[in-house]
């Protein structure tokens, strides 16, 4: 970590901890306002530096989630130019386990939980669906009418750009889709942040008018 970055840490413990540069390791920031994509840059047993694609959400407690599902409560220390320094709330962590992404479950593609209305087109018929999560290469949707496995579909609506996909699996109303054209990492991060902000604004409006 560069000297300028070290000066950003407000804790002597963070400055003294051995640091590992991860370089473009994707992870999730989880808050009551939703899940957001970030890129881990530097990490130590007591803190980390991450790159965001939008302003840091400010509502409620915050946790870092890895591809294995392991979560670590964290606290922001500084924010500048889309980079944020965090300290772990319960240091020290197992640094080697974090770097190797070792955990109870196998590492998998990061999925960002959302709750957003969309339109699915299958066999030239449009159906309203609920978008429940998004990844770079797929989505989880919920609809009442079952779709055939491997069925080609189109998904779009509101902030969500058109994506061609196929049905990969289904379980009750839940259907997993795999996209034929995926999202770039920054595209996904910004899209999900916009969806979360739209959803939070809608829920806040509903509470005010109740």
The answer to the question of residue 107 being in a domain is no
Number of domains in the chain: 2
| Centroid of chain to Cα 104 | 20
Report yes or no on 13 lying in a domain: yes
In a domain, 81, yes or no: yes
Rounded alpha-carbon distances, angstroms, from residue 146 to 55, 167, 176:
38, 10, 11
pLDDT band per the 50, 70, 90 thresholds, residue 9: very low
Domain extent for 199: 112-208
Strand (E) or helix (H) holding 43: strand 34-44
Q: What are phi and psi of 87, to 5 degrees?
A: -110, 145
User: What is the pTM assigned to this prediction?
Assistant: 0.81
| DSSP labels, 153-167 | EEEEETTEEEEEEEE
Q: Which of 78, 100, 122 represents a domain boundary (last residue)?
A: 100
Residues of 181-194 as b/e, b for ≥16 C-beta within 10 angstroms?
eebeeeebbbbbbe
C-alpha distance from residue 149 to each of 97, 108, 169, 171, 177 (Å): 37, 22, 6, 11, 10
pLDDT bracket for residue 15 (50, 70, 90): low
Q: Report the residue count for the chain.
A: 210
User: 16-25, 106-115, 142-151 — which is least confidently predicted?
Assistant: 16-25
Output Rg (C-alpha) for the chain, integer angstroms: 19
Residues near 160 by Cβ (< 8 Å), separated by ≥ 6?
A: 116, 118, 131, 191, 195
Considering 79, 100, 121, which residue would you say is the last residue of a domain? 100
CATH number, domain of 179, equals 2.40.10.220
pLDDT of 186: 93
- Domain end position, chosen among 100, 120, 142: 100
Specify if 105 maps to a domain. Answer: no
Q: What percent of the chain has pLDDT over 70?
A: 81
Most confident of 1-5, 9-13, 82-86, 100-104: 82-86
Residue 187 lies in a domain: yes
């Amino acid at each position: 970590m560069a000297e300028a970055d070290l000066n950003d840490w407000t804790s002597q413990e963070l400055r003294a901890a051995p640091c590992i540069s991860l370089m473009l390791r994707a992870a999730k920031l989880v808050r009551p306002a939703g899940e957001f994509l970030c890129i881990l840059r530097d990490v130590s047993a007591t803190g980390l530096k991450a790159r965001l694609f939008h302003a840091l959400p400010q509502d409620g407690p915050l946790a870092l989630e890895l591809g294995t599902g392991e979560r670590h409560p964290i606290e922001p220390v500084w924010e500048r130019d889309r980079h944020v320094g965090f300290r772990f709330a319960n240091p020290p962590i197992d640094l080697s386990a974090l770097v190797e992404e070792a955990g109870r479950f196998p590492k998998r593609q990061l999925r960002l939980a959302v709750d957003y209305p969309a339109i699915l087109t299958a066999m030239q018929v449009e159906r309203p669906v609920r978008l429940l999560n998004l990844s770079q290469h797929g989505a989880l949707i919920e609809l009442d009418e079952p779709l055939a496995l491997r069925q080609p579909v189109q998904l779009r609506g509101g902030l969500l750009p058109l994506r061609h996909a196929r049905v990969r699996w289904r379980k009750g109303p839940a259907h997993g889709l795999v996209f034929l054209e995926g999202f770039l990492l920054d595209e996904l991060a910004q899209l999900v942040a916009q969806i979360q902000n739209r959803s939070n604004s809608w829920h806040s409006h509903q509470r005010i008018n109740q």
